Chain A
Amino acid sequence: MNKKQKKVLYRILLSLGFMIGIMILTSYVSVNLYVEVVLYLIPYLIIGYDILRKAIKGILKRQVFDENFLMAVATVGAMCLGEFREGVAVMLFYQIGELFQSVAVGKSRRNIAALMDIRPDYANMMIDGKLQKVDPDDVEIGSEIIVNPGEKVPIDGIIVEGNTTFNTSALTGESVPRDAHCGDEVISGFINMTGEIKVKTTKEFGESTVSKILDLVENSSMKKSRSENFITKFAKYYTPAVCYSALALAIIPPVVLMLMGKDASWGDWIIRALTFLVISCPCALVISIPLSFFGGIGCASTKGILVKGSNYLEALASAKYIVFDKTGTLTKGVFEVTHIDPTDNYDQQQLLYYAAHVEMASSHPISLSLQKAYGQSLDRDAVHNIEEIAGHGIRGTVHGHDVYAGNEKLMNKIGVDITEKHPEGTVVYMAIDNQYAGCIVISDVIKETSKAAIQSLKSQGIKETIMLTGDTKQTATKVAEEIGIDRVYSELLPADKVEKVEEILQNKGEKEKVAFVGDGINDAPVLSRVDIGIAMGALGSDAAIEAADIVLMDDDPAKISLAMKISLKTLRIVKENIVFALAVKFICLILGAFGIANMWLAIFADVGVMVIAVINATRALRI
């Protein structure tokens, strides 16, 4: 609690003490009405003097519908009608509610700030032979900074000295530490765990990842959600509407009764009207919605999911179509040997041995993946006469055997019959001593979590999952079948992807949203076209962070369904709060109009609802 809140707390306690004292006193001794008024005015003024002052100021500025005015009118009205206890109590509970709200909001502000506590305060630099702490803002590009174990990397850069292990969980939500060696890139926000390292900075502090992320999350609440705008607009009409109804309630029924020749009972109707005024404050709604979204965004950011605005978190909950880019999103985007199919004369390891050796000198991605799959050091003396045949493959002599490795065209060229063709992936056919020896299939590998991610998205209400790829139809279909994608568009050029997305956008229902997930590097046009653009593997890639609405710091597809889960939960809380608060208020208004609800119920409708809504909203912080 801050100073302001503590002061209010003391006033509440003091006023409460006085009130209990007076209630006990008046129940034992019967006092004169005037004495009673004066007695009750003590706790009333202690608790309500600032509200009264603000109300008067408001009237002078013609701001009659602010809540101070409403509270002042309601309580003064109650006091005038001899309901002293109610008058003080309304003011007291109003202040308790305000205090509670202020504390709860402050607490969630701090919680989120703590979740986001990745801002580095200093950088260590060698100045005049001494290690000194400097403001990271003052470090120029290309400076060398030192990061000790236990410290945060303040600025993006490259390790120039030392090896260490990083804790990247603050940025990625990933708890497995990451090893880094000399020459590796480091990103600000990583926590150095083991060894001292020297880092040469490649960016300014303001441009570094950690600054950008913080900026992004802090500004996310600026982009307001539709529910938030709805409620703000609603509040604008709600309060005046209730106030005018209160006025009508205080005047019309008694006048009608009077005209009918019955007892007007003005006091009764005025109390009912005052009850209306107490219920009219829209704060429960207005506070709980941004608080829920802010909590949801804060929660997501601790899991390595950056949401750029409440509106995107809201939109994600109504996403019905998710379009995926294949390479780098559902698959790893690196080529690996996935299949080795030798003829009877060789075994798999032998075939791989020849392939890796004949491709030894090449730096083509296919050659590299063959060498990686072989995994052992290559025997350089075994290979002679390597010759690259452009567009076909490679030939060479390995241990005296004439080895050809390449595509179908190469086999046709040297007159070797392929006994078994492989439909998908990139296939390297091998011929040894002019005999077909088998083939090695190299293809992109599906990420371990892709299948589970697609399944859980389905269970979260996604109607259709769609995959776009520039790959061949066979490869695309096989990947799609394996992970359970509903629809596939293959052999697309980058421009075709935008076209396909347009098509999907046109055919969807009006309230259905389309999300696109890509690696953010060359799909910026698509990311900006869809309702929700999600970029993954974005850590360190500014372009992806720029273009997307939701940014996944690592490249785990499971994060998409986690983001969805957070979004759905946040939206459920928002809806609960809207429905609950409105329902209670309207019921109390109706009951109040018929004189069934008294001032105490009205206080609950105002303060109680707000407290419950705020507590409910803070649930969005946890998943």
Chain B
Amino acid sequence: MKKTYKVDVDCANCAAKMEEAVKKTKGVKDATLSFMTLKLKVEFEDGVNVDEVMQEAYKNCKVVEDDCEIYL
């Protein structure tokens, strides 16, 4: 399953770090973050709880870049 989220982040390098953090989250198959459109597209593994995975992904993003937001 794929879902798109709006994000807010200030710098391009931080966006790249966020993307990496989301990708590493358990239950996430793949993720792309476009700094230009400020959109995060997440592809989930089959049968995972999307909300829980995204909460975890959000936490991971906060670790690498404190000044970021994912609008879940």
Which A residues lie at the B interface, using CB under 8 A? 54, 57-58, 61, 63, 66-67, 98, 101-102, 105, 108-109, 112, 218-219, 221-224, 232, 235, 281-283, 286-287, 290-291, 294
Contacts A102-B10, A283-B11, A283-B13 known; A290 to B63 CB distance under 8 Å?
no
Partner of A222 from B12, B14, B39 at Cβ < 8 Å: B39
Q: Find the residue from B12, B13, B14, B63 having the highest chain A CB count within 10 A.
A: B12
Q: Taking A98-B10, A290-B12 as given, write out 13 further A-B residue pairs in contact, using a Cβ cutoff of 8 Å, ordered by the A residue number.
A: A58-B66, A66-B14, A66-B17, A98-B11, A105-B35, A105-B36, A219-B39, A221-B34, A223-B32, A235-B16, A283-B13, A286-B16, A287-B13
- The 8 sampled A-B contact pairs (Cβ below 8 Å) are A54-B67, A61-B64, A67-B13, A105-B36, A109-B37, A286-B12, A286-B13, A286-B16
Tell me whether A221 and B37 are in contact (CB under 8 A): yes
List the B residue with the shortest CB-CB distance to A297. B36
Using a Cβ cutoff of 8 Å, how many contacts connect chains A and B? 61
Shortest CB–CB separation between residue A214 and chain B, in angstroms?
11
Interface residues of B in 23-72 (CB under 8 A from A): 32, 34-37, 39, 41, 63-67
B contact residues around A281 at 8 Å (CB): 13
Q: Find the residue from B13, B16, B17 having the highest chain A CB count within 10 A.
A: B13
Tell me whether B39 and A218 are in contact (CB under 8 A): yes
A contact residues around B14 at 8 Å (CB): 66
List the B residue with the shortest CB-CB distance to A62. B63
Assembled-state Cα–Cα distance A66/B67 (Å): 12
Partner of A101 from B11, B32, B65 at Cβ < 8 Å: B11
Contacts A224-B32, A283-B11 known; A218 to B16 CB distance under 8 Å?
no
List the A residue with the shortest CB-CB distance to B11. A283
Tell me whether B34 and A290 are in contact (CB under 8 A): yes
List the B residue with the shortest CB-CB distance to A289. B12
Tell me whether B63 and A287 are in contact (CB under 8 A): no
Tell me whether A287 and B66 are in contact (CB under 8 A): no
A contact residues around B34 at 8 Å (CB): 221-222, 290
Contacts A58-B66, A61-B63, A66-B65 known; A294 to B36 CB distance under 8 Å?
yes
Assembled-state Cα–Cα distance A431/B14 (Å): 79
Shortest CB–CB separation between residue B13 and chain A, in angstroms?
5
Partner of B66 from A57, A108, A232, A290 at Cβ < 8 Å: A57
Assembled-state Cα–Cα distance A287/B36 (Å): 9
Contacts A98-B10, A102-B10, A232-B16 known; A287 to B35 CB distance under 8 Å?
yes
Tell me whether A283 and B12 are in contact (CB under 8 A): yes
List the A residue with the shortest CB-CB distance to B35. A290
A contact residues around B63 at 8 Å (CB): 61, 63
Assembled-state Cα–Cα distance A510/B63 (Å): 41
Shortest CB–CB separation between residue A112 and chain B, in angstroms?
8
A contact residues around B66 at 8 Å (CB): 54, 57-58, 61
Assembled-state Cα–Cα distance A100/B26 (Å): 36
Assembled-state Cα–Cα distance A102/B14 (Å): 13
Assembled-state Cα–Cα distance A224/B16 (Å): 12
Partner of B36 from A63, A109, A282 at Cβ < 8 Å: A109
A contact residues around B13 at 8 Å (CB): 67, 235, 281-283, 286-287
A contact residues around B16 at 8 Å (CB): 232, 235, 286
Assembled-state Cα–Cα distance A442/B36 (Å): 51
Assembled-state Cα–Cα distance A101/B12 (Å): 10
Shortest CB–CB separation between residue B60 and chain A, in angstroms?
11
Contacts A54-B66, A66-B65 known; A290 to B10 CB distance under 8 Å?
no
Assembled-state Cα–Cα distance A218/B65 (Å): 24
List the B residue with the shortest CB-CB distance to A58. B66
Assembled-state Cα–Cα distance A98/B39 (Å): 21
B contact residues around A282 at 8 Å (CB): 13
Assembled-state Cα–Cα distance A232/B33 (Å): 12
Assembled-state Cα–Cα distance A283/B39 (Å): 19
Shortest CB–CB separation between residue B1 and chain A, in angstroms?
16
Tell me whether B11 and A291 are in contact (CB under 8 A): no
Assembled-state Cα–Cα distance A283/B9 (Å): 13
A contact residues around B67 at 8 Å (CB): 54
Assembled-state Cα–Cα distance A232/B23 (Å): 14
Shortest CB–CB separation between residue B63 and chain A, in angstroms?
5
Partner of A67 from B11, B35, B39, B41 at Cβ < 8 Å: B11
Assembled-state Cα–Cα distance A223/B33 (Å): 10
Tell me whether B41 and A222 are in contact (CB under 8 A): yes
Closest 10 CB pairs of A and B: A287-B12, A221-B34, A294-B36, A286-B12, A286-B13, A222-B32, A221-B36, A232-B16, A61-B63, A57-B66
B contact residues around A98 at 8 Å (CB): 10-11
Shortest CB–CB separation between residue A312 and chain B, in angstroms?
15
Assembled-state Cα–Cα distance A219/B40 (Å): 10
B contact residues around A223 at 8 Å (CB): 32
Shortest CB–CB separation between residue B17 and chain A, in angstroms?
8
Shortest CB–CB separation between residue B65 and chain A, in angstroms?
7
B contact residues around A109 at 8 Å (CB): 36-37
Assembled-state Cα–Cα distance A127/B55 (Å): 44
B contact residues around A286 at 8 Å (CB): 11-13, 16
Assembled-state Cα–Cα distance A282/B32 (Å): 20
Shortest CB–CB separation between residue A68 and chain B, in angstroms?
9
B contact residues around A291 at 8 Å (CB): 36
B contact residues around A102 at 8 Å (CB): 10
List the B residue with the shortest CB-CB distance to A53. B66
